[in-house]
Structure 1
Amino acid sequence: MLDFHHLAEFSRHNCIGICGFLIPANLLATLLTIILAVIGRPNFQVFLAAGVASIFAVLMMLHVHSWSIVGVVMSPTYILSGLAITCLVVNVTAIIWPKRQLQASTVSHNV
């Protein structure tokens, strides 16, 4: 059985290591998603990169939430939450963007 109390304690006790991994992982994975979407790689590759980047962003939000539960709310709480939300928005946009481009090119060819 998964005990969330122990996971939250682990998250708080290993904050430096978790943040030291998740911050660069979020930024690099989201950057990879942007690059793959801009250069026009197949949707599967963009979806895979966005999925991995979204997992990192959700893990960041859970880590920040573990601090919020115990009442520790400081500027890093807002900064890391903003980073995670920004990465999630960018990844969702990268998934939606190729579909919009395809629809726009279809409409321009029909005119």
Structure 2
Amino acid sequence: MLDFNTLAEFSRANCISICTFLVPANLVATLLTITFAVLRCPPQQVWPASGAACMFALMMVLHVYTWFMIGVVMVPTYVLLSLAITCLIGNLGAILFHTRHFPTPSFGK
């Protein structure tokens, strides 16, 4: 069975490693989603890229919340939380931009 306290302790104990992976992963995955949306790639490419980017951003939010749970309120926690929220909003914006400006053609009509 999964123990949340053990996962939170693991997250805090390996903070440098987790952040070293998640910060570039968030930025690259979000940039990839935005690039796919602007280049008018098919939704089969935009949606998985956005899903991966949102997964990285949600992992970052959960990681930051483990620090908030024990009362660590510092500038880096807010910076990482802001980065994750910005990436989530950027992915949502890219999907909305793609679906609004480049609708998928309907071949049946």
TM-score (norm 1): 0.90
C-alpha displacement at 1:94, in angstroms? Answer: 1.1
8 Å contact 2:33–2:94 — kept in the other structure?
A: yes
Tell me the equivalent position of 1:93.
93
Gaps (5+ residues) in structure 2?
A: 104-109
C-alpha displacement at 1:28, in angstroms? Answer: 0.4
Percent identity over the alignment is 58
Structure-1 separation of matches of 2:24 and 2:99: 28
Structure-1 separation of matches of 2:13 and 2:102: 47
Structure-1 separation of matches of 2:32 and 2:102: 21
The amino acid of 2:47's aligned partner reads F
C-alpha displacement at 1:100, in angstroms? Answer: 1.4
Tell me the equivalent position of 1:106.
none
Q: Per-residue CA shift, 1:69-108, capped at 9, x if unaligned?
A: 00001001110000000000011111111221146xxxxx
Gaps (5+ residues) in structure 1?
A: 104-111
Aligned residues: 103
Structure-1 separation of matches of 2:30 and 2:65: 21
Structure-2 separation of matches of 1:37 and 1:2: 37
Q: CA RMSD in A?
A: 0.9
Tell me the equivalent position of 1:34.
34
Structure-2 separation of matches of 1:98 and 1:30: 14
Higher helix proportion, which one?
A: 1
Structure-2 separation of matches of 1:54 and 1:76: 20
